[in-house]
Amino acid sequence: MSFNLMIVVHLYSNKNDMQDLQEQTVAQIVTQNIKSADVFKKHGIDFCCGGNVSVAKACARKGVDLQTFELELDQALSTATTAHNYATWDLGFLVDFIENTHHIYVRENVEIMLQYTNRVAEVHAELHPEVVRINELTHSLVAELMPHMQKEEQILFPFIKKLLQLKKEGKNVSKKFVQSPINVMHMEHENAGDIVKEIASLSKNFTLPEGACNTYRAMYAKLEEFQNDLFQHIHLENNILFPKAILLEEQISL
């Protein structure tokens, strides 16, 4: 069963984009309405690093019935009255939002997250050996993200704001630059995404073992919260910020 036009009109306000939803990529749908990410996540469909596949193909890979997925997506988006339309935001505002929301979240939560994983690995490794690897992966994730965010804040984000200022002043750039750091960011996003996916797999999607102590519970809750924030963080950059920055530079290039 294909998605019909009435459903497409209901889900999206931009009627020029009303192509069959099965043919749209996962990233396109999440970009149009971030609330749809909840449905993709429910079925284990990657919407950030691996979002450049059609909905039909993504569902097929995960063994998800397309008709069921359609109904779930329609229900989720019909109730998403307060979801932000990030794709329409001013580029400078989006940069500030990512830094002041997602970067701050990472910095405020990595220490407590590592405390949890360290403690659980120390106490529960004998009965649950997977927690040792989860602890190692969490340390690797933090080691990946901290310099990554610093590069964005010191190099990429200021350059994007410089491009915005040049456009405002009616000036041009003689040499393109932004694609190079974006390529690096994409690669590092892939690395971070692979790490959190392995953590989710080892933890059976954060399913607590019988008799789990409060620290164990806190660890899985924090890891899942961190993963959810990171997926949205990467989505905003990969699928909205970076393409817009590349287009902006092309518009003011000589």
Residue at 84 is within a domain? no
In order of 6, 111, 200, the CA distances from 216 in angstroms are 46, 16, 15
For the chain, the domain total comes to 2
Q: Are residues 220 and 95 in the same domain?
A: yes
Which residue, 29, 48, 78, sits at the end of a domain? Answer: 78
**What is the pLDDT at residue 34?**
66
Q: Are residues 122 and 163 in the same domain?
A: yes
- Averaged confidence pLDDT in the chain: 87
Q: Are residues 18 and 116 in the same domain?
A: no
> Looking at the predicted structure, is the pLDDT value of residue 6 above 90?
no
Q: Are residues 72 and 123 in the same domain?
A: no
* Contact between 232 and 34 (Cβ < 8 Å): yes
Where does 22-156 have alpha helices with state H? 26-32, 37-42, 55-62, 66-78, 91-97, 104-124, 130-151
Q: Are residues 155 and 247 in the same domain?
A: yes
**What is the pLDDT at residue 71?**
85
How far apart, in whole angstroms, are the C-alpha atoms of residue 229 and residue 168?
32
Instruction: Give residue-wise pLDDT tens across range 152-197.
Output: 999 999 999 999 999 999 999 888 899 999 999 999 999 999 999 9
Residue at 237 is within a domain? yes
Q: Are residues 151 and 203 in the same domain?
A: yes
Q: Are residues 96 and 152 in the same domain?
A: yes
Which residue, 78, 100, 131, sits at the end of a domain? Answer: 78
Average pLDDT over residues 48-66: 85
Average pLDDT over residues 115-133: 96
pTM greater than the 0.85 cutoff: no
> Looking at the predicted structure, is the pLDDT value of residue 228 above 70?
yes
Which residue, 78, 111, 139, sits at the end of a domain? Answer: 78
How far apart, in whole angstroms, are the C-alpha atoms of residue 118 and residue 137?
11
Of 245, 230, 207, nearest to 48 (Cα)? 230
Residue at 41 is within a domain? yes
Structure-token match 């997925």, residue found? 69
> Looking at the predicted structure, is the pLDDT value of residue 39 above 70?
yes
> Looking at the predicted structure, is the pLDDT value of residue 14 above 60?
no
Q: Are residues 245 and 142 in the same domain?
A: yes
pLDDT higher for 97 or 4? Answer: 97
Domain ranges, residue 171: 89-251
Q: Are residues 68 and 166 in the same domain?
A: no
Q: Enumerate the β-bridge partners of residue 25.
A: 54
Average pLDDT over residues 24-41: 80
Residue at 83 is within a domain? no
Domain at 36, CATH number:
1.10.3910
Q: Are residues 71 and 94 in the same domain?
A: no
- With vertex at residue 95, the alpha carbon angle to CA 90 and CA 96, rounded to the nearest 5 degrees, is 100
The number of angstroms, rounded, from the C-alpha of 3 to the middle of its chain's C-alpha atoms is 25
Dihedral angle, C-alpha 202, 203, 204, 207, nearest 10 °: 170
How far apart, in whole angstroms, are the C-alpha atoms of residue 17 and residue 75?
20
Q: Which residues contact 110 (CB under 8 A, 6 or more apart)?
A: 142, 145, 146
**Which structure tokens are listed for 174?**
């003689």
246, exposed or middle or buried, with CB in 10 Å at 0-12, 13-18, 19+?
A: middle
Residue at 217 is within a domain? yes
**What is the pLDDT at residue 42?**
80
Q: Are residues 134 and 238 in the same domain?
A: yes
> Looking at the predicted structure, is the pLDDT value of residue 144 above 80?
yes
Sequence letter at residue 237: E
Q: Out of 77-81, 96-100, 218-222, give the one with best mean pLDDT.
A: 96-100
Residue at 43 is within a domain? yes
68, exposed or middle or buried, with CB in 10 Å at 0-12, 13-18, 19+?
A: exposed
> Looking at the predicted structure, is the pLDDT value of residue 15 above 80?
no
> Looking at the predicted structure, is the pLDDT value of residue 27 above 50?
yes
Looking at 35-39, 146-150, 247-251, which range is the least confident one? 35-39
> Looking at the predicted structure, is the pLDDT value of residue 4 above 60?
no
* Contact between 8 and 60 (Cβ < 8 Å): no
Q: Are residues 60 and 93 in the same domain?
A: no
